[in-house]
Each structure stands twice: as C-alpha cells, then as structure tokens.
Structure 1
Amino acid sequence: MKVAALQADLSCHAAGGLGAALDRCAREGVDLLVLPECYFGGMPRDRAAAATVATSAEELIPAFGAAPPALTVVAGFTERAGDGRLHSSAAVIRDGRLLGVSRKLFPREAAFDPGADLPLHHHADTAFGVVICYDCNFIEPSRLLALAGARILVCPLNNDLPADVTRRWRARSCATLIARAVENDCWVIAADVAGTAGEHEGMGATRIVAPDGRIVGEAPATEPALLVAAIDPTGPSLLARWDVAQNPALYSRWSSSVTDQPASTFRSTSAHSTGRARNPP
C-alpha cells in the first residue's frame, strides 16, 4: 500500500499545491493521501473566523475532481454541522463520494466544539482511524481505534504556533507520534504545516511511522513537501498480547483506580504537546 502526507504552507489550500499533489499521487499509484488539519480554510484564530470558513463535508468533493478514482483522501476542514456546531473535522473522500467524517475530540481552540465519536474508515480491506492534532496526545482515542481494528492512525495536524512554542515542543510532539504507533501496533501517517507567517511558525512534523517506531518517511521541517512511502499494514495486531487482564491483580488495581479517582488524576497519562498551546501545561 502506498501512502502520502502533504505538508502544506501555513495558508494551506490558499497557497495552492493540491493539484500537484493529486497529479503525483496519480503517477505514483498512491492509495491514501492525508492533508493537514484545517487544510481547507486555514486554521481560524477565533469563532467568528471559523464561522466564516465553515462548510459541509459534501462541499469539499468538487476539490478532488482530478483525484484518481482509487485514491482515498483524508482532508482537514472547518465543519459546520447540521446542529450549527463548528468542528475541526476530516472528511474521507474517494471517487467523488464522501465516505465519512471524523471530528476533533479535544480542541484547544475556542473556535471549535468537541466531537463525540471515533468512526472507523476503510481503504479496500485496510481499516484506519483519524486522530486530529491535539487528540494525538491522549492515549485513549488511538487505543480505541486500534482495538476497533484500525491498522493505520491518520493524523491531520496543524501546528501553526508562535515560533517559541513550535521550537520548544517539536521534539515532544514528534515523539508522541512514535508513541501512538508503538503502543497501538499501528502505522501513523501525520500531515502538518510548515513555513512562517509573522510571529508564527509551522512545526513541520509530517512523517510516516512504522508500528515498531521506525520513521520510514519524514518531511523537511521548514518547507512544504509531499511525503510518499510504501507501507504494509497487513497482518494481525499485537494488541491481543498486551492485555492487562492477563494479570488479574494488576488489572483490578488499574480498573478500580480509574473508577475511584477523579479524571484529573490521570491527566499525566497524556503527553500535552501537539496542538496550539499558547501556554503549554
């Protein structure tokens, strides 16, 4: 299976480049293309800006008219849901059809409302889940998708941050992607933004990570690029081997601690890095 991750300029779709990316995907027989979070419309700075660029997932379909019919695209955008809520979402599109939508669960941006589900998507026989930007820091979304059968974790990122935050958190954010791959025995495909605009700087964390933690493809941190790699997501997951219930004493201790303690007790289990933290915890 061949996959691609587009590292976009901070202005994302407004900077162009999608046509060239689709052409290359067609030439190289790419099966799955990942675009950054909020690729369409860019990252809104506030609720009013989000409302201005918000759209429905169906309205994105014409942008992929030139895509090869066998190419599955995961495209980040600001979604105006049927109930009027605004979400940072990713549309899954193939052959002129909308196959599904995933929404960010833990938005740090005041512009967005949180999503509430974790749909599983497919390219042919391969199941994949979408984990959007800051959600990568939490153990649970990726693990739930892996337990549901995902062999690939698709991670649309938009680390458009003040330059000092970008530089301080880049190593941790990239390490987080490796952690999600290893602990879930999944491939991770992350697409981020790069470049500078005023005092903001893109992190450029676009990479493809193997289930054993190897980085099989990495874009240059400072400029737009299309990263392409061949991966093999077939084979059984190792998660069945990593079942804590195999030790009843430990499982009992863990399950009772989760039940008895407030949720805040377990915040340390999530690495707070990827996202748009102005004042990182």
Structure 2
Amino acid sequence: MKSSSEGLRVAALQAGLIGSAAGDLPDVLERCAQERIDLLVLPECYFGGMPADSRAAESAAIAPPYTSLLAALAACPEQTTVVAGFTERSAGGRLHSSAAVVRAGKLTGGISRKLFPREPVFSPGDDLPLHHHGEHAFGVVICYDCNLVEPSRLLALAGARVLVCPLNNDLPPDVTRGWLSRSRSALIARAVENDCWVIAADVAGTAPGREGIGATCVIAPDGRVVAEPDRSAAPELVVAEIEVRGESMLPRWDVRRNPAIFDRWRRSLEP
C-alpha cells in the first residue's frame, strides 16, 4: 500500500456505448498490470451496458454475492482497486445503477448506488459510503449525481480527497451537443469546490440515434484537466499520476463563520 504522502497512479476507461460487450476489459487489465495502476475507474453500467428498458435492466442485473462481476475482474492486478459500474439487483429486489469497489477479487468497500437516477428502471440509493485505497479515501459519484453539489460535498466532508465518477453519457446527438460543455464544467466545479481530485470514466462513439459524450478525464483540485482522451476515442485508457495532499482546504470554506449568511442558506432549504 502507498502512504498518504505518495502519489497514486490512476486510470479511467473511456468505453464504447455497449460497455464490456466490446471485449476491451482483458487488454485494460493487462495494461493496468504493466503500468502498476493503483485505481481503475470503469464507466457507469460498464457491465451489461446502459439498459434501454426494464427488460434489459432485468437481464443485465447482477445480484449479491456478485459472482459474475467478481469473476470478470479476477485477472485484475492485486495492487489495483477497481471501481466498476453495473446494474445491480439489491437484496431487496430493487434495481440500481451501482458501482462496486473491488480489489484482489473481493469487494473491499461495498457498493455505491446512484442517488438521483433519471432512468425510470433504476431506484435511487440512500447512502454515500467512503472507500479506501490504502490510506487514500475516495467517494463514488455516479453520472447525473455529479450535477448536484451535495453528494460530492458530503463525501469531501467525510474525508474523501478523490471523487471517482463513473459516467454513461449515452444520449441522442442533439442532447450530447448541449451537454458536452456542461458535463465537463460540472466535473471541474466538483473538483474545485471540494478541493478533490476527480477521475471520470465515460462512454464514447456513435450508434443509430445515439452518441457518447466522451467526458473521460482526470481533474486536479485547482480545476486543471491533467489527462483526457480524444472525445471520440473508444476504448481508450487515460492514465495519470496524481499527488493527494493530506490536508483539505474545506475547513477554510466554512459558511458557518458568518452566522447570518449560514442561517439564510439554511432557511433557503426549507419548504
């Protein structure tokens, strides 16, 4: 394990629209071994692809103990923590857009679930677990949740210094054009306002009536995009070395220092 004073080698996969069905995972895992990747991020619904309807979601769903998911990642290097997007059927029977955190063939940090799904087939999650790679704490923010301030901020307040963002911006072409700049800007905003690294893995490519935004990137806490692929490239693995500071700047940005403004903000949240 690396200490908190050392860098992390991170990788984000920009996959095709059909996810792991493209067969790119073995090559990705081999490259992770060659480059000694610490943290690998796969897109939202990478396993099974983004379901178009309830029948597709049921067919793609993986239930506990997630045997097929863990088997697919069995060849992953032992030093690599993987954040893998998939359609989950929870123990309660509900379907979720989820991300499993896997290391050495085992779930290490449990499951993160999308909190604000726009897809009718998915139920919302209700938790924000903190995950770890060694001493490095990170949180998982799935796709549309990146547009909201609160999930990322709650994870940062809990101690996350890295925000991992599995995306699946598989959209109609006219929507893609409208959201390209907004998606990138939202990721930069989450990095800056939370003093966190952001690692986002998206989909790219085209299909009849569909286009992937390709918003895969690694963003520094000051908002610099330090690594990104060609937007149309898929599959493409983006690799970066990041330095995670031990001390967050968040305590300096505490609105409670001005009680009048804090109270005004609190009251704005009331019905």
TM category, shorter: over 0.9
SS of alignment partner, residue 231 of structure 1: strand
Q: Deviations over 1:153-210 (max 9, x none)?
A: 0000000000111011100110000000000000000000000011100000000000
Which runs of structure 2 are paired with 1:54-65 in the superposition (5 Å)? 54-56=61-63, 58-59=66-67, 60-65=69-74
The yes-or-no answer on 1:81 pairing with 2:105 is no
> What's the % identity of the aligned pairs?
65
SS of alignment partner, residue 127 of structure 2: coil
SS of alignment partner, residue 27 of structure 1: helix
Q: Deviations over 1:219-252 (max 9, x none)?
A: 1111211000000113200000000011111112
Cα deviation for residue 254 of structure 1 reads: 1.4
**Partners of 1:9 and 1:34 in 2: how far apart?**
14
RMSD over equivalenced CA pairs, Å = 0.8
Q: TM-score, normalised by structure 1?
A: 0.91
**Partners of 2:128 and 2:54 in 1: how far apart?**
24
**Partners of 2:55 and 2:105 in 1: how far apart?**
30
**Partners of 1:96 and 1:30 in 2: how far apart?**
16
The yes-or-no answer on 1:251 pairing with 2:262 is yes
SS of alignment partner, residue 106 of structure 1: coil
Q: Which runs of 5+ in 1 are unaligned?
A: 263-281
SS of alignment partner, residue 243 of structure 2: coil
Q: Deviations over 1:85-143 (max 9, x none)?
A: 00000000000111211000000001101100000000000000000000000000000
**Partners of 1:116 and 1:64 in 2: how far apart?**
26
SS of alignment partner, residue 171 of structure 2: strand
The yes-or-no answer on 1:126 pairing with 2:136 is yes
Aligned residues: 260
The yes-or-no answer on 1:136 pairing with 2:146 is yes
Q: 1:95 aligns with which of 89, 98, 104?
A: 104
Cα deviation for residue 253 of structure 1 reads: 1.5
SS of alignment partner, residue 227 of structure 1: strand
Which runs of structure 2 are paired with 1:159-174 in the superposition (5 Å)? 159-174=169-184
Q: Deviations over 1:54-101 (max 9, x none)?
A: 012522111111111110000000000011000000000000111211
**Partners of 1:166 and 1:257 in 2: how far apart?**
32
Q: TM-score, normalised by structure 2?
A: 0.94
**Partners of 1:8 and 1:115 in 2: how far apart?**
24
The yes-or-no answer on 1:38 pairing with 2:45 is yes
Stretches of 4+ moved more than 4 A in 1? none
**Partners of 2:71 and 2:55 in 1: how far apart?**
25
